[in-house]
Amino acid sequence: MRAKILLVEDDASLIELVTYNLEKEGFDVVRTGDGEEALTLAEEEKPDLVILDWMIANLSGIEVCRRLRRAPATANLPIVMLTARGDEADRIRGLETGADDYMTKPFSPRELIARIRAVLRRLRPALSGGQLEFAGIAMDTTAHRVMRDGRTVQLGPTEFRLLRHFLEHPGRVFSREQLLDAVWGRDVYVEQRTVDVHIRRLRKAVNAGPTGDELPDLIRTVRSAGYSLDATPAVQAA
Amino acid sequence: MRAKILLVEDDASLIELVTYNLEKEGFDVVRTGDGEEALTLAEEEKPDLVILDWMIANLSGIEVCRRLRRAPATANLPIVMLTARGDEADRIRGLETGADDYMTKPFSPRELIARIRAVLRRLRPALSGGQLEFAGIAMDTTAHRVMRDGRTVQLGPTEFRLLRHFLEHPGRVFSREQLLDAVWGRDVYVEQRTVDVHIRRLRKAVNAGPTGDELPDLIRTVRSAGYSLDATPAVQAA
DNA sequence: CAAGAATGTCACAATATCGTCATAAGTCCC
DNA sequence: GGGACTTATGACGATATTGTGACATTCTTG
């Protein structure tokens, strides 16, 4: 899966330079030079990361950063700030406002790429690593292959994306609505209960043991909240 | 919860400077100037983050970084590299080897702190939110999980919300009416006595000891006033 | 184009949880 | 100690939520 980057910048030559380098590295790039528009695009395009210049039209980069953090839909979006202002105070302010990294112009495109990859490696392992692993489940995202304790697991496309989402955020509980957003896509209309059915299909595939017996269920149902990938068995004897 | 930082550095004045600033900001600091020892400490001390100088004794910083990433126990440990070498190539090499951030000497201690916080904010949501804790009860709101003295506690949805409310305002006494408002919702009509029943269910779940014995009750009944989460023993000689 | 796979919904079964009540057990004040 | 209250507890029917199998439809892929 290609990662999508939202580039918020109004210097034409920089746009060109950065876009060229990002695309060469296999990223999809969405651009704007306008602060207000950046907020809209962040919601609608669902980028995997934002590169944000401090000096842009309509809203300062720092204000965009603050609003992105405040809106629930984008609160977790990784942000790399980019600016001509090299003051220590500015850098600290940027980082404390919620930016994940901060680079000062002039900068090396290769270092920018390296820093973006470092951030994505953390936030969306599937985007840069290719290998995800949790409690005996291993997924190779590039080869589209899943193994449980060494045995290959056969999954349909939707179950694959569902599992990948869980593997990217192990332990965390997602509501049906959140799962529909993240796995099916924002503007798809399907019944919430459809999630249940795919959870069941995923469980069936992942928990199937070698001789028909059941392996421990790693998908936890949290009543009235959703589901999570979880190693701890629901019931603890003793 | 205080975060523990492993500082791998062999310049005495830098050690002092960084340690002073980290401790002032509320971090626990473990130090070494030796690459081999750094690997051992990373395993044994289980730090939340490593600050790693490139030039250290026995093993280069980059090699330490590589080995930390390779060992399963430390593969996810956040690493901030720190060095006098300002070459772009070095920075990129550091980031690509698995460092989460990279700073060049001379650097501002405050910026270092800001970057450490930015990394931890991502990696350890527990350190900056989502985690509630009081007198041996720990609740992870994103994982929807509750522990008492390390043992997981099983709660129904209503008891979960009830406990969360108490954990968000420890020590404070709430009337049944206030609890109904906060936990059930403003426009729900249920008997006030229903609160008693859920308090009882919550107590039963939270105070259950490992072998059937009772742990100290942390929910205090305040006669003709309500309930509160409270560590003070129920019986007070007076 | 046809077979097979994948998908989304539904109806119904299986559980878990909820709210209420009756009754027991405390607590306070005189 | 005896009311007058207030809270604790166990039981139970009512509800809400989730699990499951089946099925029609759409998508893939030869």
Q: Which residues of A are less than 8 Å from B121 in CB distance? A: 98
Rounded to the nearest integer, the mean pLDDT of chain A is 88
User: Is A175 near strand D, with its CB below 7 A from some atom of it?
Assistant: no
Output the CA torsion sign for B50, B53, B56, B61: positive
* For A119, nearest residue in chain B (alpha carbons): B100
pLDDT of residue B236: 42
Cβ pair A173:B118 closer than 8 A: no
End-to-end CA distance of chain B: 34
- B110 has a chain A CB within 8 A of its CB: yes
Q: Which residues of A are less than 8 Å from B115 in CB distance? A: 95, 101
Sheet with strand A4-8: strands edge to edge: A28-32, A4-8, A49-53, A79-83, A101-104
Say yes or no to pLDDT of A98 above 80: yes
Q: What is the pLDDT of residues A7-61, one digit of tens each?
A: 999 999 999 999 999 999 989 999 999 999 999 999 888 899 999 998 888 898 8
Cβ pair A95:B118 closer than 8 A: yes
Q: What is the pTM of this model?
A: 0.80
- Checking each nucleotide's C1' against the CA of A198, the nearest proves to be C7
Percent of chain A scoring above 70 in pLDDT: 94
- B118 has a chain A CB within 8 A of its CB: yes
Split at pLDDT 50, 70, 90, the class of A1 is low
SS3 A214: strand
pLDDT of residue B238: 34
pLDDT in tens, chain B (238 residues): 688 999 999 899 999 999 999 999 999 999 999 999 999 999 999 999 999 998 888 888 899 999 998 887 888 899 999 888 777 888 898 899 989 999 988 888 999 999 999 998 877 654 445 788 998 999 999 999 999 998 999 999 999 999 999 999 999 999 999 999 999 998 889 999 999 999 999 999 999 887 767 889 999 999 999 999 988 654 443 3
DSSP A180: I
Cβ pair A224:B157 closer than 8 A: yes
**B116 within 8 A of B108, measured Cβ to Cβ:** no
Split at pLDDT 50, 70, 90, the class of A141 is confident
- A110 has a chain B CB within 8 A of its CB: yes
Extract the tokens encoding B135: 């007198």
Q: Which residues of B are less than 8 Å from A110 in CB distance? A: 88, 92
Residues A95, B87: Cα–Cα separation, whole Å: 23
DSSP B214: B
Cβ pair B143:A173 closer than 8 A: yes
Cβ pair B100:A123 closer than 8 A: no
Q: Which residues of A are less than 8 Å from B101 in CB distance? A: 101, 115, 118
**A219 within 8 A of A203, measured Cβ to Cβ:** yes
pLDDT of residue B124: 63
* Residue B204: CB atoms within 10 Å: 11
DSSP A213: P
- B108 has a chain A CB within 8 A of its CB: yes
